[in-house]
Structures are given as structure tokens and as C-alpha cells.
Chains A and B, each alone.
Chain A
């Protein structure tokens, strides 16, 4: 039995067969303003002790498989950050809905 046949979590992909024939794309990918801002926001939230990097990871690991492997890196971060802040009551669903409505 290979290690990957044990009950591993989705994100725990070291050595997993389905990726072994995938080539690594070494070309540079520039970050967008969106990427940088999500990254900066996470840092500020961590500095203010509103969420740990471990909570960020847990939220990413909880994404459905198609999102975990399909969404861009920082889109996954944003979803985890939002879910964490809602769960911890830092922001409420109503407040977020109102803020989204204002963005049009």
C-alpha cells in the first residue's frame, strides 16, 4: 500500500501519484494588486491577533476539492480569511452583505 492510500487530507499531497507526471511550470507569474492586498490584509490580521496562519491554512484545507485545486492561491486565502472572520464574529453576515451591496 502506498502512503497516499491511507486516509490523508486533500491538501496533504507529498508524493501523491496523480501529480507525479505533471510538469512544473517554472515561468515567473507576476502578482496582481489583488494578490498583494490579500497578502497584506492577512499579515495585519495576524499582527492584530485576529487570526493565526494556522487558521488561514485550516480554512484553505476545508475548501472543496475543485476550489482547492482550481482557485488561484490568493483567492483561496481570501475565502479562508472571510470564513474565519465570520466564524469568529469579527464581522457578521449582515455587515458583510451590506458592504457587498455598497460595492454594487
Chain B
């Protein structure tokens, strides 16, 4: 379980190419590195809830990204903060 301050990378995975799915990890974060701010709690996996399947509770993290790693333009120092489930994160 990543601790606050730990660097993580959002998995560069595209379930959209493999059939019907419901993903709460925005496309613009995939493959990008950020820093865990905190563990927000554990919540049922929305990827299963959306299909009325049994959903395991998974850890949800608040992850902070530098704005400039996401798109080419933009002001250094600005940031994007998003909730990302643990199964989408790997060690950076």
C-alpha cells in the first residue's frame, strides 16, 4: 500500500480497447507519475459495480500530478489532484 509522499505511476492500460468497461481513471493520467497525498479509504470497485457484478473493496488514493507532465503547455507549479484506485497504481 503506497504511503503518503510515495511516487507512483498510473498504469498505462486501456481496457477501452478490450470491450465494454467503466473506468474511473481518466485517460490523461495513464502512464503518468505522481505523488500519493493520502489513502482516502476503501470503496467497492466501480468497474464491477457498473456491471452489477460483486465488487471488492479497494483502496482509493489521492494522487497529485504536476500539471506540466500531463500536457505540453501550462504553468510550472500548477497541479492536478485526482482519486485513483490502488489497482491502477504501480511503483514509480
**Chain B: number of interface residues, binned into ranges:** 10 to 19
Is residue B58 within 8 Å, beta carbon to beta carbon, of the partner chain? Answer: no
- How many A-B pairs have beta carbons closer than 8 Å: the answer is 50
CB <8 Å contact, A6 and B49: no
Segment 1-45 of B: residues with Cβ below 8 Å from A: 14, 16-17, 20, 22-23, 26-28, 30
CB <8 Å contact, B22 and A57: yes
CB <8 Å contact, A58 and B27: no
- A6 and B27 in contact (CB under 8 A), knowing A15-B70, A57-B22? yes
Neighbouring B residues of A62 by C-beta, 8 Å: 20
Main SS of chain B's interface residues? Answer: loop
A12 to B16 CA separation, bound complex (whole angstroms): 11
Chain A residues bordering chain B, tally (CB within 8 A)? 19
Neighbouring B residues of A70 by C-beta, 8 Å: none
Q: Digit string of A26-61 for contact with B (CB within 8 Å is 1, else 0)?
A: 000000000000000000000000011011011001
A-B contact pairs, 11 of them (CB 8 A): A2-B72, A3-B27, A4-B27, A7-B16, A7-B17, A9-B16, A9-B23, A12-B26, A51-B52, A52-B52, A61-B22
Using a CB–CB cutoff of 8 Å, the interface residues on chain A facing chain B are 2-4, 6-9, 12, 14-15, 51-52, 54-55, 57-58, 61-62, 88
Using a CB–CB cutoff of 8 Å, the interface residues on chain B facing chain A are 14, 16-17, 20, 22-23, 26-28, 30, 46, 49-52, 70-72
